[in-house]
Structure 1
Amino acid sequence: MERQQQRQQLRLLLLQIRDQPRVRAEEIASFARYTGLEQSQIDILNVFDTPEFPASAADGYDGLFVGGASEASVLEPEIYRFLQPSQQLLLRCLEIEMPVFASCFGFQLATVALGGTIIRDDRDFEMGTIPIQLTETASQDPLFHDAPDPFMAVAVHRERAIVAPEGCQPLAYTSACCHAFRVEGKPFWAFQFHPEVDRATLVQRLTIYKQAYTDNDDHLQQVLDSAVETPDSNDFLAKFVDRILLDRSGH
């Protein structure tokens, strides 16, 4: 079967942590764009609509995407009751070796689920397009081995992990935090940066959420003026589909 036919048969689930309608639509469009999949191939489980769901919610899919969030914190389980079900879903995927691609908030969910530590910054947090460096173990990783070092990526986050959880291979970092890891021996990757977000989408999102992430309009303009394109970061989604989902599925 040709590669394109194999791709068309894939079915993914996106665990979405977005409450703003415009960003909900933009996020699924971004995942589809950079995976090369049709939006119809990606089902959505939005945790604001469905805060309680079984750990088996992703069973039967070829893989799981987890997106970012501007309306939640992994450090506030008493407020966001979907945190525990989300973490149980990730652990279930790990148990059945379902491929996982977790971005930003998904990285933080995975870190907590795997026993790691997340800390919060109220100021001087990473925001914009930033250079991210590779670890030594990245050279052996299916997704990272041919990435440039450093590469530019979109990162906007108040919460971070200094190190990867135990049992995980750190793959990318900045001076502030761990930016990517893989669970050792498993098809499970987590990215603190946003592989699904490009410069244009960053501009849209920061404009929507400027009160949450920027001090004033001048600050926002400084961030936007310094933003660059991030093709190497965006390529990770296509690599995940080509090198993990298609090769694994045997379609």
Structure 2
Amino acid sequence: MSTLPILVVEHEAGCPPAWFGEWLLAEGAVLDVLRPYAGDRLPGDLSGHGGLLVLGGSMGADDDADHPWLTDVKGLIREAAATGVPTLGICLGHQLAAVALGGTVHVNPRGQQIGVLDIGWTDVAADDPLTGRLPRPSGGVQWNNDVVAEPPPGTVVLAATATGELQAARFAPTVWGVQWHPEAGEEIVTAWTEDERDDAAARGVDLDAYVRDVARATDRLRETWAQLAAGFVDLLDADARAVS
């Protein structure tokens, strides 16, 4: 196990590491959770960290003017891609990785993706060093308005919806992104619904039913995505062995 911690970037209080942080700690990882929205300063480089985990948030991947730390996060992702630091982006983190490495993100023209939705694994995902161990079929907690419109050059598509939205990708040899929320369970999702009820009702979305779906799927979600966390720690171990 690498003795260097994983740098975890939390963009807002409502999107903590949650389950994923729990699983990483259980696998023996050390977490350095920084909250730039609360005044934490991100490091200028990744020399003191063995991995990078970029969490979700309600802002957009191009909203640097309102959330200046996003520029620094993109710089760290580019460094990770250049130096081989294992990196995983979740939802917003997935979109930030795409933008940092030359892709684009836009509002999904088909509308918001919300629900415990099927993951459309591609054939290559079975041989990927991070996703190859995951069970199929899989479901993931989705809550997003934006999607990756154009992936960066060289992206390996690991999962996509039936209508083509990117769900998971390897953007660079050691940089992955997932559009869903492997870290989120009933408690997290319930908190997300509090500020969305009026808008959701206007669109005919039953947020209480969504929360119930997440609650019913808890055991399956935890069993599936704990393996994603374990796979990420394996990448850290492999990277540490390669440089030792």
Calculate the TM-score normalised by the size of structure 1.
0.81
- Matching of residues 189-208 of structure 1 within 5 Å: 189-198=176-185, 200-208=186-194
Matches within 5 A, 1:1-251: 6=1, 9-18=3-12, 20=13, 23=14, 27-37=16-26, 41-50=30-39, 53=42, 55-56=44-45, 58-70=46-58, 72-121=59-108, 124-176=111-163, 177-184=165-172, 186-198=173-185, 200-211=186-197, 214-215=200-201, 219-227=206-214, 228-229=217-218, 230=221, 231-241=223-233, 243-250=234-241
Question: In structure 2, do the counterparts of structure 1 residues 40 and 173 end up closer, same or farther at CA, with 3 Å as the change threshold?
Answer: closer
> Is 1:195–1:237's contact at 8 Å kept on the other side of the alignment?
no
After TM superposition, give the deviation of residue 113 of structure 1 in Å: 0.8
- Taking a change above 3 Å as real, the CA distance of residues 240 and 38 of structure 1, as seen in their structure-2 partners, is closer
Cα offset for 1:205? Answer: 3.2
Q: What TM-score comes out, normalization by structure 2 length?
A: 0.83
Kept after mapping to 1: 8 A contact 2:4/2:48: no
Question: Cα distance 1:239–1:225, how it changes in 2: closer, same or farther (>3 A)?
Answer: same
Q: Tell me, which stretches of 5 or more residues in structure 1 are unaligned?
A: 1-5
| Distance change >3 Å, CA 119–CA 40, structure 1 → 2 | same
Specify whether residues 232 and 164 from structure 1 end up closer, same or farther in structure 2 by C-alpha distance, changes over 3 A only.
farther
Determine the C-alpha separation between the residues in 2 that align with 1:40 and 1:136: 30
Residue aligned with 1:156, SS: strand
Matched residue SS, 2:38: coil
* Shift in Å, 1:179: 0.9
1:190 partner SS: strand
Inter-CA distance 215–55: structure 2 relative to 1 (3 Å threshold): farther
Please say which of residues 145-154 and 61-70 is displaced more in the overlay: 145-154
**CA RMSD in angstroms, aligned pairs only:** 2.8
Determine the C-alpha separation between the residues in 2 that align with 1:218 and 1:131. Answer: 18
CA distance in structure 2 between the partners assigned to 1:50 and 1:85 by the alignment: 14
- 2:105–2:150 contact (8 Å) kept in structure 1: no
Q: What CA distance in whole angstroms lies between the structure 1 residues aligned with 2:98 and 2:198?
A: 23
How many percent of aligned residue pairs carry the same amino acid? Answer: 25
Distance 1:51 1:245 in 2: 24
Question: In structure 1, how many angstroms separate the alpha carbons of the residues matched to 2:41 and 2:238?
Answer: 32
Consecutive unaligned residues in structure 2, runs of 5 or more = none
Amino acid of the structure 1 residue aligned with 2:237:
L
SS at match of 2:141: strand
The secondary structure found in structure 2 opposite 1:160 is strand
1:113-137 Cα offsets, whole Å, 9 max, x none, are 1111211148731112111111122
Instruction: Give, in angstroms, the shift of residue 108 of structure 1.
Output: 0.8
